[in-house]
Structure 1
């Protein structure tokens, strides 16, 4: 069951990433939301954090700054708990992009 769910998660993330690369942000968001639901069931912190970061990235592109900020903050918290420094840096960069979208340039630094 775990392996099947992980494979479905991986496929959804790949599809979402493909749509994101083609600037099809709404479709990417749909795939990332589905992937996040599976990530929650898998109960693997890094899988959930990765899902949250990519979902938040498209949320920024869709102008959903407040939602994106919550997603990036949750991803950051998870990464801090498991000492995933790469994930922490990506979540922090994402939070900076949210501040840029809000024209809060000082906060973005």
Structure 2
């Protein structure tokens, strides 16, 4: 079920943001995976290197470029830890085996 707080063009907005930073995390500088990359990596590595687009003010309706940050999964989780953000319980987690 898609979160109705996001605009219909969110997938394209998020892709544009990721492409604008060449798939490099704006917090830690790690090179994230582009769609289709990561063959041969463990599932956990692919997850860790997945890029997300973060709303700095935690409002998914505010998609101004200055409010968006492209982050790796670890950094995105860092921003949402202990925050009253727009994520549901369990939405952001890292699994290690």
TM-score (normalizing by structure 1): 0.30
TM-score of the aligned structures, taking structure 2 as reference length: 0.32
Greater relative CO (CA pairs within 8 A, separation 6+): 2
The structure that is helix-richer by fraction is: 1
Whichever structure has more strand as a proportion of its residues is 2
